[in-house]
Chains A and B, each alone.
Chain A
Amino acid sequence: MSSAMFNLILQATLDTLYMVSISGVIATLVGLPLGVMLYVTRPRQVLAMPVLNQVLGIITNIGRSIPFIILMVAIIPFTRMLVGTSIGINAASVPLTIAAIPFVARLIEGALNEISPGLIESAQSMGATPWQIITKVLIPEARGGIITGLTITLVTLVSYSAMAGAVGGGGLGDLGIRYGYNRFNPTIMLITVVILVVMVQGFQSLGDYLVRKSDRK
Chain B
Amino acid sequence: MIELSNVSKTYGTGSNAVHALKDVNLTVPKGAIHGVIGLSGAGKSTLIRCVNLLERPSSGSVTVDGQEMTHLSRHELNRARHRIGMIFQHFNLLTTRTVFDNVALPLELMGEDRKAIKTRVLPLLEMVGLSDKAKQYPAQLSGGQKQRVAIARALASKPNVLLCDEATSALDPQTTSSILELLREINQQLGITILLITHEMEVVKSICHRVSLISDGKLVEDAEVGDFFTAPCTQLGREFLNDFLQLSPPKELIERLSDTPGEHTHPVVRLTFSGDAVSTPLISRLARECSVDVSILQAKVESIQDRTLGLMIAELLGTPAQTQEAMSYLEAHHLQVEVLGHVQRDV
Tell me if B109 and A116 are in contact (CB < 8 A): no
How many Å lie between the Cα of A124 and that of B138 in the bound state? Answer: 20
CB-CB under 8 A from A132, the residues of chain B are 109
Interface size for A (C-beta < 8 A) is: 21
CB-CB under 8 A from A29, the residues of chain B are none
Q: Is A127 an interface residue (CB 8 A)?
A: yes
CB-CB under 8 A from B85, the residues of chain A are 125
Within 8 A of B (CB), among A114-140: 116, 118-119, 121-129, 132, 136-137, 140
Choose one: A121, A141, A214; the contact of B54 (CB below 8 Å).
A121
Tell me if A116 and B96 are in contact (CB < 8 A): no
Tell me if A116 and B92 are in contact (CB < 8 A): yes
Tell me if B105 and A136 are in contact (CB < 8 A): yes
Tell me if B109 and A127 are in contact (CB < 8 A): yes
Choose one: B81, B95, B138; the contact of A126 (CB below 8 Å).
B81
Choose one: B79, B88, B139; the contact of A122 (CB below 8 Å).
B88
Q: Is B298 an interface residue (CB 8 A)?
A: no
Q: Is B230 an interface residue (CB 8 A)?
A: no
Q: Is A217 an interface residue (CB 8 A)?
A: yes
CB-CB under 8 A from B78, the residues of chain A are 127-129
Q: How far is the CB of B99 from chain A (nearest CB, A)?
A: 11
Pick the most buried of A121, A127, A128, A217: most chain B CB atoms within 10 A of its CB: A127
Tell me if B96 and A141 are in contact (CB < 8 A): yes
Tell me if B109 and A136 are in contact (CB < 8 A): yes
Tell me if B79 and A127 are in contact (CB < 8 A): yes
Q: How far is the CB of A122 from chain B (nearest CB, A)?
A: 4
CB within 8 Å: A-B pair count: 66
Q: How far is the CB of B307 from chain A (nearest CB, A)?
A: 35
Within 8 A of A (CB), among B38-78: 52, 54, 77-78
Tell me if A126 and B94 are in contact (CB < 8 A): no
Tell me if B88 and A118 are in contact (CB < 8 A): yes
Pick the most buried of A119, A125, A132, A141: most chain B CB atoms within 10 A of its CB: A125
Tell me if A216 and B96 are in contact (CB < 8 A): yes
Tell me if A137 and B94 are in contact (CB < 8 A): yes
Nearest opposing residue in chain B for A119, CB measure: B92
Tell me if A216 and B95 are in contact (CB < 8 A): yes
How many Å lie between the Cα of A129 and that of B81 in the bound state? Answer: 11
How many Å lie between the Cα of A127 and that of B79 in the bound state? Answer: 6
Q: How far is the CB of B72 from chain A (nearest CB, A)?
A: 11
Given known contacts A126-B105, A127-B79, A128-B109, A217 and B92 CB-to-CB distance under 8 angstroms: no
Nearest opposing residue in chain B for A124, CB measure: B54
Interface 0/1 of A160-197, CB less than 8 Å to B = 00000000000000000000000000000000000000
Choose one: B79, B86, B96, B110; the contact of A125 (CB below 8 Å).
B86
Q: How far is the CB of A120 from chain B (nearest CB, A)?
A: 9
How many Å lie between the Cα of A141 and that of B85 in the bound state? Answer: 22
Tell me if A126 and B82 are in contact (CB < 8 A): yes
Q: Is A143 an interface residue (CB 8 A)?
A: yes
Given known contacts A125-B52, A127-B81, A140 and B109 CB-to-CB distance under 8 angstroms: no
Interface 0/1 of A85-104, CB less than 8 Å to B = 00000000000000000000
Q: Is B84 an interface residue (CB 8 A)?
A: yes
Tell me if B139 and A116 are in contact (CB < 8 A): no
Tell me if B92 and A122 are in contact (CB < 8 A): yes
CB-CB under 8 A from A124, the residues of chain B are 54, 81
Q: How far is the CB of A150 from chain B (nearest CB, A)?
A: 17
How many Å lie between the Cα of A137 and that of B80 in the bound state? Answer: 20
Tell me if A126 and B90 are in contact (CB < 8 A): no
Pick the most buried of A122, A128, A137, A141: most chain B CB atoms within 10 A of its CB: A122
Within 8 A of A (CB), among B255-291: none
Q: How far is the CB of B101 from chain A (nearest CB, A)?
A: 10
CB-CB under 8 A from B80, the residues of chain A are 127
CB-CB under 8 A from A217, the residues of chain B are 95, 139
Nearest opposing residue in chain B for A133, CB measure: B109
CB-CB under 8 A from B86, the residues of chain A are 122, 125-126
Choose one: A121, A123, A216; the contact of B137 (CB below 8 Å).
A216
Nearest opposing residue in chain B for A125, CB measure: B86
- B residues sitting closer than 8 Å to A (CB atoms) are 52, 54, 77-82, 84-86, 88, 90, 92, 94-97, 105-106, 108-110, 137-139, 153, 157, 163
A-B contact pairs, 17 of them (CB 8 A): A119-B94, A125-B52, A125-B81, A125-B85, A125-B163, A126-B82, A126-B153, A126-B157, A127-B78, A136-B105, A136-B108, A136-B109, A140-B94, A141-B96, A143-B96, A216-B139, A217-B139
The 8 closest A-B pairs by CB, nearest first: A127-B81, A127-B78, A122-B92, A125-B86, A118-B92, A126-B106, A216-B137, A127-B82
- A residues sitting closer than 8 Å to B (CB atoms) are 116, 118-119, 121-129, 132, 136-137, 140-141, 143, 214, 216-217
Extra 4 A-B pairs, beta carbons < 8 Å, given A121-B92, A127-B77, A127-B110: A125-B81, A126-B82, A129-B78, A129-B109
